[in-house]
Amino acid sequence: MSSILRNILKPSILKSTKPHFPISSSSTLYTSLFSSSYYSTSTTNGKMYGGLEPTKPNEKPRLVVLGSGWAGCRLIKEIDTKIYDIVCVSPRNHMVFTPLLASTCVGTLEFRSVAEPIGRIQPAISSEPGSYYFLANCSSVDAKDHVVHCETVTDGAQALEPRKFKIAYDKLVVASGAEASTFGIQGVHEHAIFLREVHHAQEIRRKLLLNLMLSDIPGVPEEEKKRLLHCVVVGGGPTGVEFSGELSDFIMKDVRQRYAHVKDYIHVTLIEANEILSSFDDRLRHYAAKQLTKSGVRLVRGIVKDVQADKIILSDDTEVPYGLLVWSTGVGPSPFVKKLEVEKSAGGRIGIDEWLRVPSVQDTYAIGDCAGFLESTGKPVLPALAQLSPSASGHDVLPYKVCDGNLLQQVAERQGKYLAKFLNRIGKAGGGHANNAENVDMGDPFVYRHLGSMATIGRYKALVDLRQSKDHPPARGFQESAGNTASQDQRYTY
Amino acid sequence: MSSILRNILKPSILKSTKPHFPISSSSTLYTSLFSSSYYSTSTTNGKMYGGLEPTKPNEKPRLVVLGSGWAGCRLIKEIDTKIYDIVCVSPRNHMVFTPLLASTCVGTLEFRSVAEPIGRIQPAISSEPGSYYFLANCSSVDAKDHVVHCETVTDGAQALEPRKFKIAYDKLVVASGAEASTFGIQGVHEHAIFLREVHHAQEIRRKLLLNLMLSDIPGVPEEEKKRLLHCVVVGGGPTGVEFSGELSDFIMKDVRQRYAHVKDYIHVTLIEANEILSSFDDRLRHYAAKQLTKSGVRLVRGIVKDVQADKIILSDDTEVPYGLLVWSTGVGPSPFVKKLEVEKSAGGRIGIDEWLRVPSVQDTYAIGDCAGFLESTGKPVLPALAQLSPSASGHDVLPYKVCDGNLLQQVAERQGKYLAKFLNRIGKAGGGHANNAENVDMGDPFVYRHLGSMATIGRYKALVDLRQSKDHPPARGFQESAGNTASQDQRYTY
A15: in domain = no
Whole-angstrom distance, CA of residue A457 vs CA of residue A239:
10
Q: What is the pLDDT of residue A447?
A: 85
Chain A residue at shortest CA distance from B324: A158
Q: Is the dihedral of CA A179, A183, A184, A188 positive or negative?
A: negative
Per-residue model confidence (pLDDT) at position B408: 55
Q: Residue B277: name the closest of B465, B466, B467 by CA.
A: B465
pLDDT tens string B224-245: 999 999 999 999 988 899 999 9
Q: How confident is the model at residue A19 (pLDDT cuts 50, 70, 90)?
A: very low
Q: Are the beta carbons of A376 and A354 closer than 8 angstroms? A: no
Q: Distance (Å, rounded) from C-alpha B280 to C-alpha B272? A: 15
Residue A450 CB contacts under 8 Å (≥ 6 apart), including other chains: A384, A386, A407, A410, A468, A469, A471, A472
- Kindly state the average pLDDT of the residues B12-17: 28
CA distance A263 to A269: 16
Q: SS3 for B54?
A: coil
In the predicted structure, residue A155 carries a pLDDT above the cut 70: no
Which range, of A205-209, A398-402, B260-264, averages the lowest pLDDT? A398-402
Q: What interface predicted TM-score (ipTM) does this complex get?
A: 0.78
Full domain range(s) for residue B206: 188-330
Q: Chain A: nearest CA to B173, how far in angstroms?
A: 20
Q: How confident is the model at residue B107 (pLDDT cuts 50, 70, 90)?
A: confident
Taking the C-alpha atoms of residue B350 and residue B336, their distance in angstroms, rounded to an integer, is 11
Tell me the C-alpha distance between B225 and B214, whole Å: 8
How many angstroms separate the CA atoms of B363 and A380, rounded?
A: 77
- Is pLDDT above 90 for A368? yes
Helix (H, G, I), strand (E, B) or coil at B52: strand
Sign (positive or negative) of CA dihedral B11, B14, B15, B16? positive
**Residues 6 or more apart in contact with residue B207 via CB below 8 angstroms:** A157, B193, B323, B324
| CB-based contact, B289 to chain A, within 8 Å | yes
Structural domain contains residue A234? yes
Mean pLDDT is lowest, of A192-206, A386-400, B233-247, B275-289, for A386-400
Distance linking the first and last C-alpha atoms of chain B:
54
Dihedral angle sign, alpha carbons of residues B61, B67, B71, B76: positive
B256 belongs to a structural domain:
yes
**Alpha-helix residue ranges (DSSP H) falling in B309-451:** 335-339, 405-428
> Is B106 near chain A, with CB under 8 Å?
no
Alpha carbons B436 and B430: distance in angstroms, whole number:
8
- Tell me, yes or no, whether B15 lies in a domain: no
In chain A, residues 13-72 whose CB comes closer than 8 Å to chain B = 13, 16, 18, 20-21, 23-24, 29-35, 38-41, 44-52
pLDDT, tens digit, for every residue of B209-225?
999 999 999 888 899 99
φ/ψ (deg, to 5) at B322? -145, 160
pLDDT higher than threshold 90 for residue A427: yes
> Which has more pLDDT, B473 or B489?
B473
Least confident of A49-53, A113-117, A397-401, A446-450: A397-401
More confident residue, B393 or B154: B154
Taking CB atoms and an 8 Å limit, are B318 and A32 in contact across chains?
yes
A154 touching chain B per CB within 8 A: yes
Confidence of residue B439 (pLDDT cuts 50, 70, 90): confident
CB A63 within 8 A of CB A411: no
B6 close to B14: Cβ distance less than 8 angstroms:
yes
Using the predicted structure, report yes or no on whether residue A65 has a pLDDT greater than 60: yes
Q: What is the pLDDT of residue B491?
A: 26
In degrees rounded to 5, what are phi and psi of residue A187?
90, -5
CB pairs < 8 Å spanning A and B: 269
Specify if B224 maps to a domain.
Answer: yes
Mean pLDDT calculated for residue range B311-335: 95
Of the candidates A52, A155, A226, the beta carbon closest to that of B21 is on A226
Residue ranges of E strands in A114-240: 115-117, 132-142, 147-152, 164-168, 171-174, 179-180, 230-234
Closest CA to A368 of A421, A418, A413: A413
Q: What is the CA radius of gyration of chain A?
A: 25
Other Cβ atoms closer than 10 A to B121: 19
The lowest-confidence range among A70-79, B140-149, B381-390 is: B381-390
Q: How does strand B132-142 pair with strand B147-152?
A: antiparallel
Taking 50 as the threshold, does the pLDDT of residue A393 lie above it?
no
**pLDDT for the residue numbered B134:** 95
From CA B460, how far away is CA B26, in angstroms rounded?
Answer: 62
Q: Which residues of A touch B41 (CB under 8 A)?
A: 223, 227, 310-311, 319, 321
pLDDT bin (cut points 50, 70, 90) of residue A408 is low
Alpha-carbon gap, residue A243 to A252, rounded angstroms = 14
pLDDT tens digits, one per residue of B272-321:
998 898 888 889 999 999 999 998 999 999 999 999 999 999 999 999 99
Of residues B21, B110, B209, nearest to A267 (C-beta):
B21
Query: Residues, chain A, total?
Result: 494
Quick one: DSSP state of residue B4? H
Whether residue A190 lies within 8 A of chain B, CB to CB, comes out as: no
Q: What is the reported pLDDT for A200? A: 94
Determine the Cα–Cα distance for residues B228 and B406; give it in Å rounded to an integer.
31
HEC-encoded secondary structure of A199-228: HHHHHHHHHHHHHHHHCCCCCCCHHHHHHH
**Which pLDDT band, with edges at 50, 70 and 90, does A409 fall under?**
low
A187 vs B: CB within 8 A: no
Predicted local distance difference test score (pLDDT) of residue A415:
94
Number of separate domains in chain B? 1
Distance from CA of A50 to the nearest CA of B (A): 4
Phi first, then psi: give them for residue B310, nearest 5 degrees.
-130, 5
Q: What is the pLDDT of residue B30?
A: 31
Quote the pLDDT of residue B441.
86
Q: How far apart are the first and last CA of chain A?
A: 54
Indicate if the alpha-carbon torsion angle A245, A247, A248, A253 is positive or negative.
positive
CA distance A216 to A94: 37
- A291 part of a folded domain: yes
**pLDDT over 90 at B37, yes or no:** no
Residue-level pLDDT at A142: 95
Nearest chain B residue to A274 by CA distance is B30
CA distance A421 to A304: 44
- How many residues can be counted in chain B? 494
A320 to B34: CB separation less than 8 angstroms, yes or no: yes
Q: What is the DSSP letter of A167?
A: E
Measured between CB atoms, does A224 come within 8 Å of chain B?
A: yes
Q: Test B21 with A152 for CB contact under 8 angstroms.
A: no
3-state secondary structure of A301: strand
Q: Is residue B167 part of a domain?
A: no
* Structural contact between residues A106 and A246, judged by C-beta atoms closer than 8 angstroms: yes
Contact A168, A50 (CB under 8 A): no
pLDDT for res A160: 60
Indicate which CATH number applies to the domain containing B326.
3.50.50.60
With a cut of 50, say whether residue B140 has pLDDT above it. Answer: yes
**A182-188: average pLDDT:** 94
Give φ, ψ of B135 to 5 degrees. Answer: -80, 90
Q: At residue A9, does pLDDT exceed 90?
A: no
Closest by CA to B325, choosing from B341, B339, B312, B315, is B312
Residue of A160, A153, A151 whose CA lies nearest to A49:
A151
The contacts of residue A153 (CB under 8 Å, 6+ apart) are A91, A135, A136, A137, A162
Q: What are phi and psi of A381, to 5 degrees?
A: -60, -40
Residues contacting A112, CB < 8 A, separation 6+: B110
Check if the beta carbon of residue A325 is closer than 8 Å to that of residue A193. yes
| Cβ neighbours of A40 (radius 10 Å) | 12
Residue A293 sits at the chain B interface (C-beta within 8 Å): yes
Q: Would you say residue B454 has pLDDT above 90?
A: no
Q: Quick one: which of B217, B226, B78 has its CA closest to A40?
A: B226
Q: Which of B160, B166, B255, B256 to mutate to test the interface with A (most CBs of A within 10 A)?
A: B160
Mutate which of B6, B14, B16, B23 to disrupt the A interface (most A C-beta within 10 Å)? B23
* Residue B226 located in a structural domain: yes
Element (H, E) at A4: helix A3-6
pLDDT, residue A459, reads: 74
> What does the DSSP 8-state code read for residue A30?
B
CA distance B488 to B233: 37
What are the CA-CA distances from residue A231 to residues A190, A264, A296, A311 (Å)? 17, 13, 12, 11
Considering only CB atoms, which chain A residues are within 8 Å of B307? Answer: none
The pLDDT score that the predictor gives to residue A154 is: 75
Question: What Å distances lie between residue A173 and A83, A148, A176, A356, B81, CA to CA?
Answer: 16, 11, 9, 9, 63
Stretch among A279-293, B3-17, B220-234, B238-252 having the lowest mean pLDDT: B3-17
- State yes or no: pLDDT of A484 exceeds 50: no
pLDDT band at A358 (very low <50, low <70, confident <90, very high): very high
Whether the predicted pLDDT of B153 surpasses 90:
no
